[in-house]
Chain A
Amino acid sequence: MRYLQILRVAYKALSRNKMRSSLTMLGIIIGVGAVIAMVGIGQGAKKMVDTQIASLGDNLLTIFPGSQFHGGVRSGAGTMTTLTEEDAKAIKENCSAVLRVSPVVRTGAQVVAGNLNWGTRIEGYSPDFVSIRSWSLASGTFFTDQDVRGATKVCVLGKTVVDNLFPGQSPVGEIIRINKLPFRVIGTLTPKGQNAFGHDQDDLIIVPYTTAQKKIMGITFINSIIASATDRKQINLAEEQITQLLRQRHKTPPGEEDDFRVRSQLDIASVAGSTSGVMTILLGAIASVSLIVGGIGIMNIMLVSVTERTREIGIRMAVGAKSKDILTQFLIESMVLSLFGGIVGIILGILSSQLISILLHWPIFTSVPAVALSFFFAGFVGVFFGFYPARKASNLDPIEALRYE
């Protein structure tokens, strides 16, 4: 029996009960559509986290001071003031895998410009900040090494600060007051938006770290160090070199715990990546359940169809259909149901993920492997759940089938 003819017979049999066939297909349509939409949402989330992490600078290393250990009390990471700007300089000079280094000094302050004021973060860096964080300027210039040496009172503003202190005008060249000290605005940063944790990255003012230490805070230590590796692949090497160097500089005896911690952007990225990966798998798995339920629907209808068409099966057998012919016929019918449902499901899945992406402003990616996989899975469901009814049909006794009323 030619496959084209079997297909024609299958199409006729299914179109005879249009309502029933389309309801049966609905199960598969929803299943396939859900898998595609869910995997799309999961991958969109992953992509979003990835871009945000990359926006922080993807070969970024951060060195925090260690936790204080005093009389059995450990005070938590960053509470020690063991890092100095000499450490930062030493890292830049001695670690071959490190390209750029900047000390970090952080505080918060109320800032005044004209008759407006705004509370924001003040962060002190070296000029290497721009390339380490891969953060470019929207206008003006960044401060130089000379400014760092002289601890000059210049600053660069984040977008949020600009919006709040200089609504609708250019702040470059203007004077603002941080803790009552006048600072000249020399540049503004391009906006970065919220980070993966919902934190506004643009709400800050950047000053030379020496200025922050001496003029604003009155301290000599630094809060942390940021560094960039020469290459993304060199991150682990850079981490090793920094650890060795700092242990040496801080005279940590072998076997003793480090009094600092090095964290790479890669660690954060892989954690965030695996989190959203797990979410994608979870969403996909939940959606697959509905695909299986759809398959059971097909089996149900095919069993009904076999019983209904017992006499037809008997007639076909009487005129010479072999068991294999009957089996193929019913298998093809269930496959047509599931694959056609699969195609409609793919279309609906893509459309609905587009819709979600428009409504939620969320990047949604229609993943080609997910589409292909769910299509093949739909076909598999058709064969798997169609097999039992088809076998039942092919094993009918021709005489009994002919007598069936």
Chain B
Amino acid sequence: MFISTEDLFKIYKLGDFEINALRGINLFIEKSEFVAIMGPSGSGKSTLMHILGCLDRPTRGRYLLDGEDISLLDRNSLARIRNSKIGFVFQSFNLLSRTTALENVELPLLYNGNSSKDNIEKAKRALSLVGLEGRENSYPNQLSGGQQQRVAIARALINNPAIILADEPTGNLDTRTSVEVMDIFQYLNKSGITIILITHEKDIASYAKRNITFRDGKIIKDEIVPNPKIAKEELLTLPVTDVKETI
């Protein structure tokens, strides 16, 4: 599973104005890469993420996911790809409120047409993978930010996606929780999942293996990180915050 874009353009029309969110993006991401996309707000990184995540289609250019041209697919086919190949993690977690952690994680399974018998088992396994064993029946408002983001990661993992797209996943978290989330990402990456992470924190980007910088809808820098930080080691140096996970 690889990602490749050819001369990708995204143009929004606002009345008489045209906003060029993306202006000719050529990108190739190999399987099992860990890429951080950086850049100021309005530089087009979220637009790219929406296109890579099959939530949106480019105005011009081609986006090949595993050799399949996404720009030619209809709404339902895009939904199927989102369900089976891609997992999303958002800055604001985007969990269903008044729905338990377990049911939130189960959500993608409702839409893939498989039998529901082992859904609960699968969801429990995903939750324990992100360290939330025993919190299955907690509601999002009973969980800390870090825990909510881990529920979101478990949800992204449930259908064994090839790619996880994370849009500022640490934007609402404190330093230690952020590193914990990066630890999970590094662990998942090691198991072969491609991770594409959008952030504007240099520190977070340094956990990735490759950094791409955007400005005004174009890639201005694409570099391999020589020695990515290892979240496990960083965690040892950070003090354990006392408010953490006590709710």
Q: Do A and B associate with each other? A: yes
A323-357 vs B, CB cutoff 8 Å, 1 = contact: the mask equals 11100000000000000000000000000000000
Contacts of A323 in B (CB 8 A): 75-76, 79
Q: How many residues of B are counted as interface, with CB atoms below 8 angstroms from the partner's CB atoms?
A: 27
Residue of A with least CB distance to B165: A318
User: Is B11's beta carbon under 8 Å from chain A?
Assistant: no
User: Is B41's beta carbon under 8 Å from chain A?
Assistant: no
Q: A311-B94, A317-B79 are in contact. Are A325 and B55 (CB under 8 A)?
A: no
Set A5, A320, A402: member contacting B79, Cβ < 8 A: A320
Which one, B80-88, B169-177, B224-232, is touching chain A?
B80-88
For residue B84, give the distance in angstroms from its CB to the closest CB of chain A.
Answer: 7
Residue of A with least CB distance to B88: A318
Residue of A with least CB distance to B97: A312
- Do the beta carbons of A5 and B88 come within 8 Å of each other? no
Contacts of A316 in B (CB 8 A): 107, 111
Q: A5-B116, A399-B55 are in contact. Are A315 and B94 (CB under 8 A)?
A: yes
For residue B85, give the distance in angstroms from its CB to the closest CB of chain A.
Answer: 10
Contacts of B155 in A (CB 8 A): 319
User: Is B110's beta carbon under 8 Å from chain A?
Assistant: yes
User: Is A182's beta carbon under 8 Å from chain B?
Assistant: no
Residue of A with least CB distance to B98: A16
- Which secondary structure dominates chain A's binding surface? helix
A291-321 vs B, CB cutoff 8 Å, 1 = contact: the mask equals 0000000000000000000011011111111
For residue A7, give the distance in angstroms from its CB to the closest CB of chain B.
Answer: 12
- Do the beta carbons of B94 and A402 come within 8 Å of each other? yes
Contacts of A314 in B (CB 8 A): 94
Contacts of A2 in B (CB 8 A): 110, 116
- Do the beta carbons of B110 and A318 come within 8 Å of each other? no
Set B88, B94, B111: member contacting A322, Cβ < 8 A: B111
Contacts of A321 in B (CB 8 A): 79, 83, 110-111
Interface centre among B56, B108, B110 (most CB of A within 10 A): B110
| A5 to B113 Cα, complex, angstroms | 12
| A5 to B50 Cα, complex, angstroms | 29
Residue of A with least CB distance to B94: A315
- Do the beta carbons of A320 and B56 come within 8 Å of each other? no
Within 8 A of A (CB), among B81-123: 82-84, 88, 90, 94-96, 98-99, 107-108, 110-113, 116
| A69 to B41 Cα, complex, angstroms | 105
| A5 to B80 Cα, complex, angstroms | 19
Set B50, B84, B95, B116: member contacting A320, Cβ < 8 A: B84
| A316 to B94 Cα, complex, angstroms | 10
Set A325, A398, A399: member contacting B111, Cβ < 8 A: A325
- Do the beta carbons of B56 and A399 come within 8 Å of each other? yes
User: Is A368's beta carbon under 8 Å from chain B?
Assistant: no
- Do the beta carbons of A320 and B83 come within 8 Å of each other? yes
| A136 to B108 Cα, complex, angstroms | 78
Contacts of B83 in A (CB 8 A): 319-321
Set B56, B76, B107, B116: member contacting A319, Cβ < 8 A: B107
- Do the beta carbons of A320 and B80 come within 8 Å of each other? yes
- Do the beta carbons of A318 and B84 come within 8 Å of each other? no
For residue A309, give the distance in angstroms from its CB to the closest CB of chain B.
Answer: 9
User: Is A73's beta carbon under 8 Å from chain B?
Assistant: no
Contacts of A271 in B (CB 8 A): none
B113-154 vs A, CB cutoff 8 Å, 1 = contact: the mask equals 100100000000000000000000000000000000000000
- Do the beta carbons of A1 and B110 come within 8 Å of each other? yes
12 contacts between A and B (CB under 8 A): A2-B116, A5-B116, A12-B98, A16-B98, A316-B107, A316-B111, A318-B53, A320-B111, A322-B76, A323-B79, A402-B55, A402-B94
Q: Which residues of A contact B (CB under 8 A)?
A: 1-2, 5, 12, 16, 311-312, 314-325, 398-399, 402
Q: A12-B99, A316-B111 are in contact. List 10 more A-B contacts (CB 8 A).
A: A311-B94, A316-B107, A318-B53, A318-B82, A320-B79, A320-B82, A322-B79, A323-B79, A399-B50, A402-B90
Q: Which residues of B contact A (CB under 8 A)?
A: 50, 53, 55-56, 75-76, 79-80, 82-84, 88, 90, 94-96, 98-99, 107-108, 110-113, 116, 155, 159
